[in-house]
Amino acid sequence: MTISVRRPVSKTYPWILVGLLWTVSCLNAADRSVFNTVKPLLRKAFHVNDIQLGLVDTTFFWGYAFCAFLFGRIGDSVQRRNLILFGLIFWSTATGMMPLATSFGLLLTMRGMVAIGESTYYPSATALISRWHGQSTRSRALSIHQTAIFVGGGAGSWVAGKLADAHGWAIPFVVFAGTGLMFAGVLAWLLRVDVPGSAVVPAAVSRTARTEPVTVVLANRAALVLCAVYMFASAASSAVLNWCNVYAHDVLGLNLADSALVGPMMITIAGFVAVLVGGWLADRLAVHCPLGRFTVLLIGLAIAAVFLAIFPLAHSVALVGLLLFATSFGKGLFDGCIYAAMFDVVADEARATATGMMTMVGFFGAGIATTGLPLIASVAGLAAAFAMMAALYGAAVLILIVSRPTVRAVIARQSGALQDV
């Protein structure tokens, strides 16, 4: 097959790409954080309880889960650049429409639209970054990109809290939506499809191109292991993130902005540092050991489990913030190399599909946990409910330990396949 030659690109563009997508990821997480920040105000505005608000979270997560799988598959068939740009415009518009909700049913519907838009992003973005970055820089590039989740979630929560305290729950949605739509213009101008070198090798050239990407992922036992691990880890972390604002507001008696500082901001700081450490450590270990990245995943989740399990021992603002920082640092190590670990075992032509599938099961678990936590809290209290989420991290650790021989064999086969190409 003849492949057309593309125009040359700057040697620095792979990192410029990371910067552009970092901003998009930051906006993605910030838009998502607004709802969690204004939950106490939504209870009054819509006359709902925490379990009903948890149902809105579940609607978001499950809508995101299904669509992430769909758009992940699409991302292996179309230009990923265009899908990313479309998604940014879609979810920003949907976020700006949230204040139009006048009933609980409309609130569910509007939140579901945001989920559809945001689900377009991560499968294609991570696959695009991995296409531009080779084995020696991939974990670092993806981990830098991953820090945007923490910056967007933490800073977004604080800004949304300040705006909501001063102007009501609707204003943060409008402000964040406008910011996303403005950046879409910048992205359309600067984001490229071309990959380094003289040509782009399409999926049809590879040895697995004749096989449906979904089939490729389902036949890959290591990829399925990572999907299961991601499901448990996302369930635990999403439940904590979605309800830490409410814990700080209701239990510690803080206002919305200060609640964001104790909850999402501590998670942000820990995650920002940890994903960079995790990405750097994973790249270093991967040079010496095929399971290097999987080892970092295991260490990170073990740390997260330990510090979340002792959450009921925290009875002050300082201790709550410290434990949220510690457990989030462990989860951040995991986040710093989870995508690179998946790309160690899945070839490029199926990577968006693999990420979409992993995201789907992860957000399915998050949807269950984020409603399950307030149900548990109604019986045992919020602190005990947070601690019970540690069992989900523990399950993920166990899966990683038991599956190491299987993962080692898949990585060996994948490495051999790349050498043969």
| pLDDT(331) > 60 | yes
3-state secondary structure of 5: strand
What was the pLDDT predicted at 391? 95
Per the prediction, the chain carries an average pLDDT of 85
Residue-wise burial string across 128-147, b where 16 or more C-beta atoms lie within 10 A, e elsewhere: bbbbbbeeebbbbbbbbbbb
3-state secondary structure of 325: helix
Residues 417 and 208: their CA atoms lie apart, in Å, by 10
| pLDDT(88) > 90 | yes
CB atoms within 10 A of CB 270: 24
Closest CA to 151 of 40, 301, 24: 24
> Residue 5 pairs with which residues in a beta bridge?
199
| pLDDT(86) > 50 | yes
What was the pLDDT predicted at 222? 94
What tokens were used for 88?
Answer: 């940014």
Place of tokens 């579901």: 112
What tokens were used for 59?
Answer: 């609607």
- Pick the range with the lowest mean pLDDT from 128-132, 257-261, 328-332, 406-410: 257-261
pLDDT digits (tens, 9 = 90+) for 113-167: 999 999 999 888 988 898 888 767 777 888 899 888 878 887 888 899 889 988 9
Mean pLDDT of 392-417: 88
108 in Cβ contact with 58 (< 8 Å): no
Spell out the domains of the chain, with CATH numbers in brackets.
13-193+211-420 (1.20.1250.20)
Mean pLDDT of 175-196: 87
| Backbone phi and psi for residue 38, each to the nearest 5 degrees, phi listed first | -95, 10
Residues in the chain: 421
Residues 6 or more apart from 87 whose CB is under 8 A from it? 71, 117, 118, 119, 120, 121
27 in Cβ contact with 152 (< 8 Å): yes
What was the pLDDT predicted at 416? 60
Mean pLDDT of 87-100: 94
pLDDT band at residue 245 using 50, 70 and 90 as cut-offs: confident
What was the pLDDT predicted at 152? 87
- Pick the range with the lowest mean pLDDT from 73-77, 205-209, 292-296, 346-350: 205-209
- Pick the range with the lowest mean pLDDT from 249-253, 291-295, 308-312, 393-397: 249-253
Residues 344 and 417: their CA atoms lie apart, in Å, by 12
pLDDT digits (tens, 9 = 90+) for 355-404: 889 989 998 898 888 888 888 888 888 888 999 999 999 999 999 999 99
| pLDDT(265) > 60 | yes
Q: What angle do CA 321, 322, 328 make, to 5 degrees?
A: 90
267 in Cβ contact with 238 (< 8 Å): no
Q: What is the DSSP letter of 63?
A: H
Q: How far apart are the first and last CA of the chain?
A: 15
271 in Cβ contact with 331 (< 8 Å): yes
What was the pLDDT predicted at 417? 52
Closest CA to 114 of 160, 157, 56: 56
| pLDDT(94) > 60 | yes
What was the pLDDT predicted at 151? 84
pLDDT digits (tens, 9 = 90+) for 39-84: 889 988 888 888 888 888 888 888 888 898 888 888 888 888 899 9
Closest CA to 92 of 190, 167, 175, 164: 175
**Alpha-carbon Rg of the chain, whole angstroms?**
21
What was the pLDDT predicted at 194? 59
What was the pLDDT predicted at 326? 94
What was the pLDDT predicted at 20? 95
What was the pLDDT predicted at 73? 87
User: Helix 171-190 to helix 13-37 angle, to the nearest 10 degrees?
Assistant: 170
Mean pLDDT of 176-202: 76
> Residue 199 pairs with which residues in a beta bridge?
5
Closest CA to 250 of 372, 374, 156, 166: 374
275 in Cβ contact with 146 (< 8 Å): yes
Q: What is the DSSP letter of 10?
A: -
What tokens were used for 161?
Answer: 């809290």
Ramachandran area for residue 197 (φ above 0: left; ψ -120 to 50: alpha; else beta): left
Whole-prediction pTM: 0.75
DSSP result, 375-421: HHHHHH-HHHHHHHTHHHHHHHHHHHHHTHHHHHHHHHHHHHHHHH-
80 in Cβ contact with 92 (< 8 Å): no
